[in-house]
Every structure is written in structure tokens, then in C-alpha cells.
Homo-oligomer: A and B are copies of this chain.
Amino acid sequence: MTRPQASATPCPVMRTVDLVGDRWTLLILRDAFDGPRRFGQFQRSLGIAKNILSDRLAGLVAAGILRTEPAADTTAYLAYTLTEKGRDLFDVVIALRQWGERHAFAPGEEYRPLIDQTTGDPLQRLAYTRPDGSPVRPDETAVGEPRLIGAVAL
């Protein structure tokens, strides 16, 4: 795999997909949201070949999504942890997770839910809302003409 990098496209979807739109990369991000992880922990969780894991981790560090820090256990190992930019991918992981809960299981199958730590219960379905609280439907949106980043509040 060539090192991922954001292309010159003016499409924000494609730029993000160029950085994280890969099966292993998305699963590494999922694990990283559980807290700092060492190389071997990713490897055991994912059953991934070392060279592929090494490649994907290097790509995420180069993109500023993960950074390395000394592992908490005072061994010589490094831990990979999400940067602020990486933590901001939470919506992507939630969106993948909740679609899976709705559409990729049969009734009665077991799944591992995301828990709301304030209540201990599985998170109810989350909804995207505008700043004014109204929900957004796909058919209410369209791709517009190119604009300058920074020209509007995002």
C-alpha cells in the first residue's frame, strides 16, 4: 500500500477516505478509541500481519491521527494514542457501529454494544442534528459549488 495522503481533490469525502478508507485502518481506529494500545495489542485484537499493521500505523502517525508515547507500564514499549484530530474521527466510528447494529445482525444474534457510561446502558440510536437541534435528512442536502475553507463556519 502506498502511504496514504490527502489528494488535491476539492471533495472532503475523498480526502478523508484517502486517509482512513481502508479496512485495517478503520479497525485500528476502532481499537484506538478504547485507549492507548501497543503494537502487540493491535496485532492480537485484529489478527493482522505485522508488516500490514506496521504500514497502517505509520500512515496514521504520518497523517497526525495517531501519535506514539511511552507505554504506561514503564517497559520500553511505545503506545499508540489518538491525537485530537484522531479523536475527532469518533463520528465515523459511531456511524459505522450503529449502522452495523441496525443492518448487519439477525434478530437474536449477540453483539457488543457501545455503553453510555453515564447510565451503563447501551447507547440509543444517535442522530445528526443541526446546531438548532433539527435533524438532517439525505434528501435535504446537495453538493454545492466550490467555496474557500474558512469562508464559512464549519
Contacts and interface: CB of A to CB of B under 8 A. Distances in A.
Interface of A: 6, 10-23, 26-27, 30, 33-34, 85, 87-118, 121-131, 133, 136-138, 140-150, 152-154
A88 B94 contact: no
Contacts of A89: 95, 99
How many copies of the shown chain assemble into the complex? 2
Given A16-B99, A103-B85, A123 B114 contact: no
A82 to B, nearest CB: 9
Given A117-B140, A130-B123, A154 B101 contact: yes
Nearest to A15: B104
A17 B26 contact: yes
A150 B113 CA distance: 12
